[in-house]
Chain A
Amino acid sequence: MALVQLIHIAHARSGDKGDTSNIGLIARESKFYPILVREVTAERVKAHFEELCHGTVERYEIPNLEALNFLLNESLDGGGTMSLRSDPQGKTYSTALLRMEVQVPDDLL
């Protein structure tokens, strides 16, 4: 096992709906999708974003796209027009997630 930053095995895009940020996390290769499913749980994402996300985190699996979708509730300071943040729509949260480190079997790397 090796500790690997998600950016090496996944890519991502984030968007917003009101005060909720969504992050789509996509495996770079098929062999990495089961790693994402196993390692990147809603609980871990909530802990990872503790400074930014004040609500719950929901996770959805999209196996056909080899992707996970995360909804981070209460994470945009009220959302779009209310927000005082320089990133009111959480567009940079995609790469914030890619900072996470996960365990990957050596033979997959």
Chain B
Amino acid sequence: MIRIANGQGFWGDSLEAPIEQLRRGPLDYLTLDYLAEITMSILQKQKLRDPAMGYAHDFVQMIARGLDVIVGNNVKVIANAGGVNPEGCRQAVLNVLRKAGKHGVKVGVVAGDNLMDSLDSLIERGIELRHMETGEELATVRSRVMSANVYLGAEPVARALGMGSHITITGRCTDTGIALAPMVHEFDWKMDDWDRLAAGIIAGHSIECGAQSTGGNSFIHWPDVPDLADVGYPIVEVETDGSFVFTKHEGTGGRVTVAGVKEQLVYEMGNPREYITPDCIADFTTIHLADAGDNRVRFSGIQGRPATPFYKVSISYSNGYKAIGSMLYAWPNAFEKAQAADRILRQRLDRLGLQFDKIHTEYLGAGAAHGLKLAGKPLGDIPEVVLRVGVRSQNKHAVERFTKEIAPLALNGPPTASGLGAGRPKVEEIVAYWPALIPKTAVEATVSVEAS
């Protein structure tokens, strides 16, 4: 049996979680997810400014803090913290190791996911990287592409582990692959053992979003979940046959239940019979769940099917600008005043002749989340409403001009208005997402290991 933990559900998740995972009980592997769809483009921008950047700095700090347990207790770490510069991330980690006097610790890098430099040659070779939903060719937005990365799977990560890598850093790699890799390595699973691979993928999915599976963001009976302030992050105890128990460290807060685990299983799900990953297709309708005691849920019976011949590619491109402004209106007639302010604002934008692809208005506190049809009109004269208006345009000037029309409403619009936050809204460049497929034969995942 091996114990695989998750210590980071997304970039921006708790900095203490991975440290607590290391400190509060035994682990064989600690896996961490640092990359959201938008993250790669941010890292790409950083790397353009400074070639030594472009990876998740939080990860290097985490290694520095957790080093004694990682090395002392032989806990292997796998993270997609490399972003668009996994080699830079490795050098930073090696520096931390050397400074701490930890010599001979092997740090692996999985690369080959970054297609930024080979996009044109791929397109020339007839790999069109068409948008998976619209079918458009990438050529239509080629000049605006900001990042392009293949989602690699478990295989190259398992290869790094086979080369003795203690801390493994990947670029773009699936969260599920990062969790599956230790199983492939430790149990010597074959890459066509579809049922076991699918079990490992589902184990990975169950832990990949951090505490969302151990009581955090848990809808059912949420007020009764104990001690979320000290919530334990998820751990799977995997057997060689692919069955596993989902749990968390003893003595931590939160709660593991069958119902809570189900909430995580359906999260971001498409067709439950076809959960497509680079490693296999997992069938969520074959999962058998059973209560296995206090804060323990057993998974068994999982089946899978052969992987497809494609990798998914995550491409980001610049697609115009947006800004969002807001204003608070208080009793009496808060909702009516916010609605009047919206009408006035739109008239002014119109007079200025500004063109937007979209102007979107919400009334926070009066049906913004679910809409008025589902939530119903606010009952009575409610205490306050926040008017929130967003605009989107290819024209940066129009968006900038919009940001200067919010604050004046405080004095030249309906009464009892108060600005939220400081200053004018920020103009943001929109980084849009372009999912595509690429034949696996066109991608070469590379693995290297270097000791401190």
Contacts and interface: CB of A to CB of B under 8 A. Distances in A.
B286 interface: yes
A11 B287 CA distance: 19
Contact of B430 (A52, A64, A81): A81
A25 B37 CA distance: 25
B433 A13 contact: no
B285 A52 contact: no
B162 interface: no
A84 B374 contact: no
Interface in A17-44: 17-19, 22, 24, 26, 28
B44 to A, nearest CB: 14
A44 B324 CA distance: 33
Contact of A86 (B286, B364, B392): B364
A17 B268 CA distance: 7
A81 B320 CA distance: 11
Contacts of B373: 50-51
A79 B273 CA distance: 24
A65 B38 CA distance: 32
Given A11-B259, A52-B371, A62 B266 contact: yes
Contact of B431 (A60, A64, A81, A96): A81
A56 interface: no
B211 to A, nearest CB: 14
B176 to A, nearest CB: 15
Contacts of A8: none
Nearest to A15: B268
A51 B371 contact: yes
A67 B362 contact: no
Interface residues of B, number: 49
Nearest to B434: A18
Contacts of A96: 369-371, 374
Contacts of A86: 362, 364, 368-369, 388
A98 B86 CA distance: 43
Nearest to A98: B219
Interface of B: 37-38, 133, 217, 219-220, 259, 262-273, 284-289, 319, 322, 324, 358, 360, 362, 364, 368-375, 388, 390-392, 430-433, 435
A51 B367 CA distance: 12
A18 B270 contact: no
A17 B275 CA distance: 13
B272 A62 contact: yes
Nearest to A25: B266
Which one of A15, A69, A82, A99 has the greatest number of beta carbons of chain B within 10 Å?
Answer: A82
B360 A77 contact: yes
Given A26-B262, A51-B371, A82 B219 contact: no
6 contacts: A11-B219, A13-B266, A65-B289, A80-B37, A92-B369, A96-B374
Nearest to B361: A84
Given A26-B262, A86-B368, 17 more contacts: A17-B268, A18-B435, A22-B267, A60-B272, A62-B266, A64-B286, A66-B262, A67-B262, A69-B266, A69-B270, A77-B360, A79-B433, A82-B392, A86-B388, A92-B369, A96-B369, A99-B375
A71 B51 CA distance: 41
Given A11-B263, A26-B263, A28-B220, A84 B360 contact: yes
A5 B431 CA distance: 39
Contacts of B432: 78, 81-82
Contact of A84 (B259, B369, B390): B390
A95 B222 CA distance: 13
Contacts of B259: 11, 26, 28
Contacts of B435: 18
Contacts of A82: 319, 322, 392, 430, 432
Contacts of A99: 370, 374-375
Nearest to B37: A80
A99 B372 CA distance: 12
A87 to B, nearest CB: 6
A56 to B, nearest CB: 13
A66 B431 CA distance: 38
B395 to A, nearest CB: 16
Contacts of B388: 86
